[in-house]
Chain A
Amino acid sequence: MSNSIKVRIELRGNEATVRMLIRHPMEIGGRRKNGEYIAPHFITHVSCKHNGLTVAQAHWGPGISKNPYLSLVIGGANSGDKIEVRWVDNQGATDEYGTEI
């Protein structure tokens, strides 16, 4: 699946800058559209693994923008290392994407 995550990685020395764009409506809910309430639908948890080790976790709420962008810097990275990104939303949907530096 993984068509909701785009990742770009830039390696400088031992530092890898991981940039990611996640496609998600990030609906805060409680609004009405044509008289019907829109259910909240937002990402609650994002994690990034480096060679299987979780190096970053983010606990998000409805205050994050639609199609969020996140970047982080990982130390001790080498070319060929595995990077995995995963998100979970409040409706239980999830997606993950793995790539190499």
Chain B
Amino acid sequence: MRSFLIVAALCFATGASLAESEHDRKAFRAMYQQKFPQVGLDDFVLGVYAIDTKLRAQYDAINEFPPYEFDLDEGKDSAYRRFPDGSNLVECLGENRHRAVNNYPIYDEKKGEVISLPVAINRCLERAGQAPLSYRKLPLSKILAHLNYAARGTRRDVAEPASEQSRSAYNAGKVYFNTKRGQLNLSCADCHVRAAGKHLREQTLAPLLGAVNHYPVYGLNWGALGTLHQRFVGCLEQVNAESEDLQSKVFRELEYFLTVMANGLPMVGPGIHR
């Protein structure tokens, strides 16, 4: 009887946790939809281009011949390059483990950490005896660009945080998102939730619902592709906050939170930023 009660309590706890991320997502979406009633839910993944028609026209014009075309080719070559053992990155990432790009980031229960796509790529490389790629350099961004481009047409499908551990990672990401930091004392939510659609100098602040689905991005000011975590660093620098390392634990947890919010929305990467 006692064990039955414990099982029942565990089931209840799991049920409650599932409801938690789903509840958060519902609230997150409702808030943006109330703020921008003219934007369809799927369009939010475009970020600022969803809410600004003039920028959207520029974006569409650039996309007739996007500047990252050559990078896609190079990324594809690297993704399919055979390792000495005969496998390649795409096989390692997906088929062997029944996972696709739209399932990342995943929560690794054994290691107790969030595994983002770049980390998974480096794990694959290490397993095949190859040198891992730098998280801040172009070869990795190009592979990410190809993988995301190939995943266009699918929808983000990340497992909801169900276990105790994964819930705490999710919550850490949520807390990071809402914590004020830096000399300007701004949180991610201050700019991208409360002030979304307002202007910061000549830039429109982008809504963040599903924006992770358009990464990596080609930065027109960088003249190159950049990753999601490089964008996080950019945000932190802009509020004069101490930055974190690319693919650090906190950044991956933040990515996890944002990606769970983006669940079910279309994959449209790579995107273009100004």
CB pair A8–B65 under 8 Å, yes or no, is yes
Q: How far is A21 from B68 in the complex, measured between Cα atoms in Å?
A: 10
| Chain A residues positioned under 8 Å from B65 (CB to CB) | 6, 8, 19, 21, 69, 71
Contact code string B172-186 (vs A, CB < 8 Å = 1, else 0): 000000000000000
A12 in the interface, Cβ–Cβ < 8 Å?
no
Let me know if B153 is at the binding interface, CB within 8 A. no
- Beyond A19-B64, A67-B67, list 4 extra A-B contacts (CB 8 Å): A8-B65, A19-B65, A65-B223, A66-B223
Complexed CA–CA distance, A6 and B74 (Å): 14
9 contacts between A and B (CB under 8 A): A3-B73, A6-B70, A8-B64, A19-B64, A19-B65, A21-B69, A67-B67, A69-B65, A71-B65
Sorted nearest first, the 8 A-B pairs with minimum C-beta distance are A19-B65, A23-B70, A21-B65, A6-B69, A21-B69, A8-B65, A66-B223, A69-B65
A: contact size bracket: 10 to 19
- With a 10 A CB-CB cut-off, give which of A21, A65, A66, A71 has the most chain B CB atoms: A21
Within 8 A of B (CB), among A41-73: 65-67, 69, 71
Nearest B-chain residue to A6, judged by Cβ? B69
Smallest beta-carbon distance A85→chain B, Å: 13
- Whether A21 contacts B223 in the complex (CB less than 8 A), given A8-B65, A69-B65, comes out as no
Hey, which chain B residues are within 8 Å of A69, CB to CB? 65, 67
Beta-carbon contacts under 8 Å, B50-83 to A: 64-65, 67, 69-70, 73
Shortest C-beta distance, B117 to chain A (Å), equals 25
| Chain A contacts for B64, CB-based, 8 A | 8, 19
Among B64, B65, B67, B69, find the residue whose CB has the most chain A CB atoms closer than 10 A.
B65
Cα distance A3–B76 when bound, in Å?
Answer: 14
Residue of A nearest to B66 (CB): A21
Residues in A with CB closer than 8 Å to B70 are: 6, 21, 23, 67
CB-CB under 8 A from B73, the residues of chain A are: 3
B 17-70 contacts with A by CB, 8 A: 64-65, 67, 69-70
Q: Within residues 206 to 255 of chain B, which ones have a CB less than 8 A from any CB in chain A?
A: 223
In whole angstroms, what is the CA distance A19 to B239 when docked?
Answer: 40
The interface residues of chain A lying within 8 Å CB-to-CB of B223 are: 65-66
Nearest-neighbour CB distance to chain B for A24, whole angstroms, equals: 10
A27–B73 Cα distance when bound, in Å, is 22
